[in-house]
Chain A
Amino acid sequence: MNNKGKIILLAVVATVLTAGYIFWDLGPNWDYALPRRVIKIIAIIVVGCAIAFATVVFQTVTNNKILTPSILGLDSMYMLIQTGVIFLFGSTHVMILNKNLNFLVTLTAMLIFSSLLFKFMFKQNRNIYFLLLIGIIFGTLFGSMSSFMQVLIDPNEFQIIQNKMFASFNNVNTDLLTLAIVLMIAVIVYFMRFLKYLDVMSLGRDQAINLGVDYDFVTKRVLIVVTILISISTALIGPITFLGLLVANVAYQFIKSYQHKHILPGAMLISVIALVGGQFIVERIFTFSTTLSVIINFVGGVYFIYLLLKENKSW
């Protein structure tokens, strides 16, 4: 099967799953259930595509197939903001109750944090790995600060935080979703002009420069786009970047091409399949007794260990 065939196959599977999710067991009150399911499925598709896209291009510019953009510390920042607000103002504060406000504040904070990070890094012309190291350090710092506050907090309040720790599509707000979609489309349209460089970038820095890519410029743009996409999806549904690692690598294995015009749609479709499939299992089999990110992290973790063992062997 050639790559086009594989992508069509993935698209068919994704469509069938989506339709299955929406229409299966719809029940007599379909006028109530249908719109809710459609909104949820749109959120899933948007977030899935954004994460797959961000992870693949991030792995291309870092030239590393076992990194995820979560290394930039955005997930931890998200948790820190949520925990901090509850710690300082309590769970009844307007920031927690009003989802729109929460989304906007978290998104802005993450974008400000990453632009400061980039500004500091790019000014000194450090290389990208230095940036990642700084990201890890900040991520750990934020993580520790959050756990510190979580330990001190009232157990009932902690329950609220715990809900935020796992990505969930169960209460996505329509207004937010529209805003997120518009932002994401704008970012991806902006990114289109850099798409042709990605294949060359995957040859590594020296080859990319040799072939006439303005490497530093493109790398910065890619990182900024990745940050925006990850920030939007995290603010929308919670930390789920681990999914990216999983779907990007499944896509590399399945598509067997180096060309991003095949890998990107492949990864995005696999991502949608994994999320819709996962959500289906959560809702219909576990009847909401677990969350999607638990399943994703479990499958992803197993796959990650497999990857490490395999890479280890290939040396």
Chain B
Amino acid sequence: MVEVKSLFKKYNNKTVVEDVSIEITKGKITSFIGPNGAGKSTVLSMISRLITKDSGEVLIDGKDMGKFNSNELAKKIAILKQANHINIRLTIRELVAFGRFPYSQGKLTKEDWKYVDEAIEYMELASMQDKFLDQLSGGQQQRAFIAMVIAQNTEYVLLDEPLNNLDMKHSVQIMKVLRRLADELGKTVIIVIHDINFASCYSDYIVALKDGKVIQNGPTEQVINSNVLKEIYDMDIEIQNINDNKICVYFT
């Protein structure tokens, strides 16, 4: 379980994350939603140690994050940011193999390659695994990066706007994969997501942030309701049940 206790972050006296405390349930998908500048990505980055926190605690399986050594932590928690520009030329297979670094320190064993193959298979990239990343479309690149995270084989998978710049088809594809990660492999998936309908259809829990504070935190059904959404987004959002999914209508 990931527990976050009264997390604070300031940039030049401007508080971007204020007293955020959340508990993230194991084996489920938790989505962070909220308007731009709500501090979603900042919280995610602090949970994954990409940026330092000013104060507060992040406990992973009951142990303070700072007490883990960096390599141990890399076997527990994986983070994928939204911009994944890489300066070197890699094939999909080489990229996915990097996911085994925490285990192999660069010298991959047979077992490591087995994980790599499985991850590639899982993301249906086998037919193009020797293509270079810069020859791929945005959706394929995103899948390659997720395959790397799968090869890393961590209990917690953190993704910052995994659907950024993807079309509907690829977005659905990615979300289905995340669902399978949670359901089939028992991973705890934490995502920052802008599209509240994807959050509503695919996540188990939703954490709603605004101005650096948690506004709502609970099971999806509880958060996806007109009153809560109005508080978060300052918009009247109508919610309709379509095929047992709660769909927010906010386009007009």
Contact = CB atoms under 8 A, between A and B. Distances in A.
Interface of A: 63-65, 125, 196, 199-200, 202-207, 209-214, 256, 258
B188 interface: no
A65 B101 CA distance: 24
B88 A200 contact: no
B4 interface: no
A210 B48 contact: yes
Contact of B79 (A63, A199, A206, A213): A206
Given A204-B86, A204-B87, 7 more contacts: A64-B87, A199-B98, A203-B88, A205-B50, A214-B70, A256-B89, A258-B94
Contacts of B90: 258
A207 B149 CA distance: 10
B75 interface: yes
A206 to B, nearest CB: 5
B75 A212 contact: yes
B102 interface: yes
A85 B78 CA distance: 55
Q: Pick the most buried of A200, A202, A203: most chain B CB atoms within 10 A of its CB.
A: A203
B2 interface: no
B74 interface: yes
A256 B84 CA distance: 21
Contacts of A214: 70
A205 B87 CA distance: 12
Contact of B102 (A199, A205, A212): A212
A109 B25 CA distance: 56
A212 B70 contact: yes
Contact of A200 (B72, B73, B78, B98): B98
A72 B237 CA distance: 55
A202 B89 CA distance: 10
B101 A206 contact: no
A307 to B, nearest CB: 14
B109 interface: no
27 contacts: A65-B87, A125-B52, A200-B101, A200-B106, A202-B87, A202-B88, A203-B88, A203-B98, A204-B85, A204-B87, A205-B50, A207-B84, A209-B48, A209-B49, A209-B50, A209-B79, A210-B48, A210-B80, A211-B102, A211-B152, A212-B71, A212-B74, A212-B75, A258-B88, A258-B89, A258-B90, A258-B94
Interface of B: 48-50, 52, 70-75, 78-81, 84-90, 94, 98-99, 101-102, 105-106, 152
Q: Pick the most buried of B72, B78, B87: most chain A CB atoms within 10 A of its CB.
A: B87
B164 to A, nearest CB: 15
Main secondary structure of the interface of B (DSSP, over half): loop
A212 B101 contact: yes
Nearest to A218: B70
B142 to A, nearest CB: 14
B79 A212 contact: no
Nearest to B68: A212
Q: Which 7 A-B pairs have the closest CB atoms?
A: A212-B74, A212-B71, A258-B88, A212-B102, A211-B101, A196-B106, A214-B70
A202 B87 CA distance: 7
Contacts of B88: 202-203, 258
A63 B90 CA distance: 15
Nearest to B94: A258
Contacts of A206: 50, 79, 81
A256 B88 CA distance: 10
A125 B102 CA distance: 25
Contacts of A202: 87-88
A214 B101 CA distance: 13
Contacts of B94: 258
A212 B73 CA distance: 7
Contacts of A212: 70-75, 101-102
Given A63-B87, A203-B98, A204-B85, A211 B50 contact: no
A199 B70 contact: no
A190 B248 CA distance: 59
A136 B79 CA distance: 34
A199 B106 contact: yes
A213 B70 contact: yes
A256 B132 CA distance: 12
A219 to B, nearest CB: 13
Contacts of B101: 200, 211-212
B87 A207 contact: no
Given A212-B71, A212-B74, A258-B89, A207 B98 contact: yes
A196 B81 CA distance: 23
A206 B72 CA distance: 16
A19 B102 CA distance: 44
B133 to A, nearest CB: 11
Contacts of A207: 84, 86, 98
